[in-house]
Amino acid sequence: MTHTLYSGPVVSRKCSALSGRPLIPGDKSISHRSIMLGALAIGETIISGLLEGEDVLHTAMAMRAMGAKVEHGDDGLWRVHGVGVGGLHEPDQVLDMGNSGTSTRLLMGLVGGCDITATFTGDKSLVKRPMKRVVTPLEMMGAQFMCRSGGRLPLTVKGAQDTLSIEYKLPIASAQVKSAVMLAGLNAAGRTTVIEDRPTRDHTENMLRHFGAKVDVEELEDGAFAVSLNGHQELRGSSVDVPRDPSSAAFAAVAALIIEGSEITMSNVGVNPRRDGVFATLKEMGADIRYENERMEAGEPVATIKVTAKNTLKGVNVPEERVPSMIDEFPILAVAASCAEGTTHMTGLRELRVKESDRLLMMANGLKACGVNLEMGEDSLTIHGTGKPPEGGAHIETELDHRIAMSFLVLGCATDEPVEIDDGSPIKTSFPNFIELMNDLGADIGEVSSSNDIS
Ligand code: S3P
């Protein structure tokens, strides 16, 4: 499928009611994992609904470079022939992971548990992001690293010869760190355990089970979770039907909620409770969001999500314990809060500072420029909404961050004055057809005309 690629400024103008049944693309987290586990499995893995965004294509490229066969068929399906756990080949080139933190951190775990050496690099955003969080536990498992200052890319991993199993308590709530340790643990002699105080997305656990591995999850007395697996388990190639991405669905959902008269229905969206915190929050704000036809697919809960614009949203306090289940959705929630009536307080957001950009800062700066009254703290954002969309009329810096870009294009659908972003190209990392999909629903998002929309 080809999509309009906006590599430069993009503008979003006020539109009237959105309606339709958009087909949201596949889940990014699950797509990465389906290729990685397919590449470690014995036999063929057939994947339908894979997100063909740049981040996932980087994972596919890296797994090919390490010996797996990863093919995209004319029938739209992806087929992966794996090398077996511990069977990865040493890549003979540097692995350029583009913008993708998930690919990099999970693959550091895979390489760290194998007796091979690989070097990772990435784009201007990825080389700024902290990797020490993955390096620390992988060193305990026997891997060695040579990194740039601050544990940043480019870095070289020399995987362990005899991978040690560990028990590791996550110092930060991070599914990427948990997954990196578990993937290295797949090739360790004993039992690897990761303890997390706050449950993060469990797609690695679900997908490992789907490929035939045994993964145990125990709730501890203090409410933490211990996730354990024995090493040297064989993975069997499987069929994976990737659910549609709730993080992408959230952009269309918020657009529908802030534009009067809108109604959209999105089928087959992942509604794993460790991912759907944004929908819970929007419902608390008074949104009419319904799950229909709830069921399980490939170990993951999915549903049809119906969103209807009925009431003006109301400001809320977002409970801090909910943060991991909506970690990627704070930018779009901040857009909803900017159109809501009253104050929305979000806290426990330190991790947002080290995502594809410093998302707290980028949202605070961009929303202020659009006329929103807010306060930013070290790890918090408080937004005072008036019950109406802000004025808009701003040019927004996005720092190669797809979610900042899409959030402001959604805001521009509702503001009286257009909202322009500096660069639409990062959107293709996670949601390559975002602009077409939004315009099919009735949005007015497009290239900036020479006459300049924003004065
Ligand atoms: C992801 C985990 C999250 C999320 C990222 C994808 C994953 O990061 O922000 O976009 O697929 O494991 P952390 O849980 O590591 O913060």
How many angstroms separate the CA atoms of 23 and 242, rounded? 13
Those residues whose C-beta lies under 8 Å from the C-beta of residue 451, and which sit 6 or more positions away, are none
CATH number of 10-26+243-447: 3.65.10.10
Yes or no: say if 383 and 337 are a contact pair by the CB < 8 Å rule.
yes
* Measured CA distances, 134 to 112, 147, 271, 359, 416 (Å): 10, 12, 27, 21, 45
Residue type, 45: T
pTM of the model: 0.97
Residues 292, 268: Cα–Cα separation, whole Å: 10
* 10-26+243-447 and 28-241 have identical folds: yes
Which tens digit of pLDDT belongs to each residue from 145-163?
A: 999 998 999 999 999 999 9
51 contacts 26 by C-beta, under 8 angstroms = yes
3-state secondary structure of 76: coil
51, 108, 174, 208, best to mutate for ligand 1 pocket (most atoms within 8 Å of CB)? 174
Ligand 1 atom at minimum distance from 324 CA? 14
Name the DSSP letter for residue 82. -
Residues near ligand 1 (Cβ within 6 A):
29, 102, 174-176, 179, 200-201, 327-328, 351
Please give the DSSP secondary-structure letter assigned to residue 392.
B
Q: Does residue 154 have a cis peptide bond before it, meaning omega lies within 30 degrees of 0? A: yes
| pLDDT computed for residue 441 by the predictor | 98
Contacts of 312 (CB under 8 A, 6+ apart): 286, 340, 341, 387
Task: Spell out the residues 6+ positions from residue 373 whose beta carbon is closer than 8 angstroms to its own.
Answer: 383, 384, 386
Look at residue 247 and give its three-state secondary structure.
helix
User: Distance from the CA of 444 to the center of ligand 1, in angstroms?
Assistant: 31
Interatomic CA distance for residues 169 and 225, integer angstroms: 10
Boundaries of every domain in the chain: 10-26+243-447, 28-241
Starting at the edge strand that comes first in sequence, how are the strands of the sheet with 300-308 ordered?
A: 19-20, 263-270, 300-308, 288-297
Rounded to an integer, what distance in angstroms lies between the CA atom of residue 455 and that of residue 452?
7
Q: What's the DSSP call for residue 401?
A: -
Closest Cα to residue 154, out of 134, 129, 176, 180?
A: 129
Q: Would you give the end-to-end CA distance of the chain in angstroms?
A: 36
Instruction: Tell me how far apart the alpha carbons of residues 194 and 217 are, in angstroms, rounded to a whole number.
Output: 10
Triad 254, 255, 260: Cα angle to 5°: 110
Q: How are the residues of the chain apportioned to helix, strand and coil, as percentages rounded to the nearest 5?
A: 35, 25, 40
Residue in 27, 328, 401, 453 annotated catalytic: 328
User: Residue of the nearest CA to atom 9 in ligand 1?
Assistant: 328
DSSP code, position 129: S
pLDDT of residue 4: 60
Predicted confidence pLDDT, tens digits, the chain (455 residues)? 556 667 899 999 999 999 999 999 999 999 999 999 999 999 999 999 999 999 999 999 999 999 999 999 999 999 999 999 999 999 999 999 999 999 999 999 999 999 999 999 999 999 999 999 999 999 999 999 999 998 999 999 999 999 999 999 999 999 999 999 999 999 999 999 999 999 999 999 999 999 999 999 999 999 999 999 999 999 999 999 999 999 999 999 999 999 999 999 999 999 999 999 999 999 999 999 999 999 998 789 999 999 999 989 999 999 999 999 999 999 999 999 999 999 999 999 999 999 999 999 999 999 999 999 999 999 999 999 999 999 999 999 999 999 999 999 999 999 999 999 999 999 999 999 999 999 999 999 998 875 555 65
CATH topology of domain 28-241: UDP-n-acetylglucosamine1-carboxyvinyl-transferase; Chain (3.65.10)
Among 375, 367, 357, 354, which residue's Cα sits nearest to residue 396? 367
Atom 4 of ligand 1, nearest CA residue? 328
Residue 176, φ and ψ in degrees, nearest 5 = -70, -40
Pocket test for ligand 1, best of 30, 97, 176, 248 (most atoms within 8 A of CB): 176
Region of 375 (left: φ > 0; alpha: ψ -120 to 50; beta: rest) is: beta
CA-wise closest residue to 211 among 102, 404, 352, 82: 82
Cα–Cα dist 336/286, whole Å: 11
Q: What distance in angstroms lies between residue 196's CA and the mean position of ligand 1's atoms? A: 14
Counting ligand 1 atoms within 8 A of each CB, the residue from 27, 29, 37 with the most, and so the one to mutate, is 29
Task: Give pLDDT tens digits for 283-303.
Answer: 999 999 999 999 998 789 999
Q: Is 328 a catalytic residue?
A: yes
Is the separation of the CB atoms in 98 and 429 below 8 Å? yes
